[in-house]
Amino acid sequence: MKVESVVDLATRYIEELIITGKLKPGEQIKEDDIAGRLDISRPPIREAMNSLEGEGLVVRKPRKGAFVIEMTEKDIWEVYTLKAELYAMATSMAIDTITDGQIDLLKSLVEEMKNIATTEQRSILNYQKLHRRFHVKIMEIAGNKRLFKFASSLHKQIRRYSFQTLSYEEHLHTSNQYHQQITDLIAKKDKVNARKLMKEHILKAMEFLLNESDILSDLANNKRNNNKQGGPVLIKK
């Protein structure tokens, strides 16, 4: 079992702060604060920032420090539409080689997600981790390393928005239904409809974020309020 390094610990900690919204878009990430919370020195924090900057979650500003990256609606649209194409492609490729054991694993992940979604005291973070494992497994079965790497990078850029949309019960249940239906189609080796439904699943998530949730409007309100106080947040086009 791989032992987590101090840099990995710092990276995971900061990433979860961003994903769960505890660190807002445009907010400065204070190295001293993170180092104090984790009881570690600052150099591993800087390495973690470099890693997160490479993943598109953090931006460094000369003589100012590191900030949670801001995304416009156009940025979000670009990431989701690319992600939809890559996930659909991976689904099609995976069907060519998937085994009965791998199908059973996907079914098991879907069942775990269903259990979380139907529990009153649900953990959205745990659901999202299972959600990620589901899609990662399909990518791994597809066997295209470059596709996997590119798709993973895109996912990380919008993971915070995925977390926030899943806090809406209607979207959580819709997400769970898509995973069930996609798994059923994969099991039937129905490549055309599995690919089509996977793409629809990703684009529906984007549609919910942009048109039905209050997430971006809330962030825009935060921007206006913080601008009055001199603080940065999300830029919304």
6-69 has which fold? Arc Repressor Mutant, subunit A (1.10.10)
The string of pLDDT tens digits covering residues 9-41 is 999 999 989 888 889 889 999 999 999 999 999
The string of pLDDT tens digits covering residues 41-67 is 999 999 999 999 988 889 999 989 999
The span from the CA of 127 to the CA of 114, in Å, is 9
The string of pLDDT tens digits covering residues 117-161 is 988 778 888 999 999 999 999 999 999 999 999 999 898 888 888
Residues of the chain with CATH 1.20.120.530: 73-213
Residue range 73-213 forms a domain whose CATH class is: mainly alpha
CB-neighbour burial class of residue 81 (10 A; exposed 0-12, middle 13-18, buried 19+): middle
Residues of the chain with CATH 1.10.10.10: 6-69
| Residues present in the chain in total | 237
User: Residue 104: pLDDT above 70?
Assistant: yes
Contacts of 180 (CB under 8 A, 6+ apart): 110, 114
Contacts of 213 (CB under 8 A, 6+ apart): 164, 165, 168, 171
